[in-house]
Chain A
């Protein structure tokens, strides 16, 4: 079956530090890959996605590249802000085309705290 393994937290960084949250996956076929963010007290919001190999998703300064050869989708940001403090979830869908319509398999989440 499908699975997602992401870096365990918590991760604590100072403002303007570089962020990497690792994510690897196991799936049959060609899944779509996602990063979701959950701010305190809120639901999940889609941060970025990639639907095929070598695609790069980007949003709000965050980036992640779909690497089929390493089955990875690591999240990066060059300079984090206090407002980036949240829980980040890596996820995959079990259909390749678009993928947003289908069930998601989530990683366990990584809590990021950014200090001023």
Chain B
């Protein structure tokens, strides 16, 4: 059974760096076709894909956040990480990590964490 759980600071100040951890079980990020993605949702708004990291170490970021995003993984400990630098109030949102399934015609967020709320405030 695949499960994921996000953890983070809850609240942080503008200009600081947001660090989030996705702890998961039920799959390995070293297995072909496996990935973990980060998606966020400001309160009352829609979903925005941020970044993905794949079994082979490849990463893909949403260009809208320019170079502020870094995704990484610790395969041994079944964790994935997201860092967002220079945060401001627009980064206030619930952040989700999701197991991402990949094959020829499929790119699918098929298991989601419960989400972690992050507030950027001075």
The answer to whether A and B interact is: no
- On B, residues with C-beta under 8 Å from A are none
Interface residues of A (CB under 8 A from B): none
